[in-house]
Amino acid sequence: MSELRGSMMDFRAPGQETAGGQAHGYLSLPPAGTGPGLIVLQEWWGLVDHIKSVADRFAEAGYVVLAPDLYKGKSATSPDDAQRLMMALDLPFAAQALGGAAEYLLAHDAVHPKRVGVLGFCMGGQLALYAATIHPEMFDAVVDFYGVFNPNVPVNLKALRAPVLAHFGVHDASIPRDKADRLLRDMAHAGAECDGYFYEAGHAFFNDSRDVVYNAQAAQLAWTRTLEFLHINLEAH
Q: How many other C-beta atoms lie within 10 A of the C-beta of residue 93? A: 13
Beta-strand relationship, 111-121 and 164-169: unpaired
Average pLDDT over residues 89-97: 80
Distance CA 72, CA 49 (A): 15
Q: Report CA-CA distances (Å) from 122 to 13, 36, 62, 204.
A: 23, 23, 24, 7
pLDDT of 188: 96
Length of the chain: 237
Distance CA 197, CA 99 (A): 27
Query: pTM, whole model, 2 decimals?
Result: 0.94
With a cut of 50, say whether residue 95 has pLDDT above it: yes
pLDDT of 15: 57
Side chain identity, residue 127:
L
With a cut of 80, say whether residue 236 has pLDDT above it: no
pLDDT of 1: 60
Average pLDDT over residues 45-55: 92
pLDDT of 73: 84
pLDDT of 149: 86
Higher pLDDT, 60 or 150: 60
pLDDT of 18: 47
Q: Where are the domains of the chain?
A: 7-235
Distance CA 82, CA 8 (A): 22
CA dihedral over 6, 10, 15, 17, signed as positive or negative: positive
Q: Residue 94: enclosing H or E segment and its boundaries?
A: helix 91-107
Q: pLDDT digit string (tens) for 184-210?
A: 999 999 999 999 999 999 999 999 999
Nearest to 217 by CA among 230, 197, 199, 203: 199
Average pLDDT over residues 7-18: 74
Q: Which residues are marked as active site?
A: 122, 172, 203
3-state secondary structure of 10: strand
Of all residues in the chain, what percent carry a pLDDT higher than 90? 71
CATH of 7-235, one of 3.40.50.1780, 3.40.50.2300, 3.30.360.10, 3.40.50.1820: 3.40.50.1820
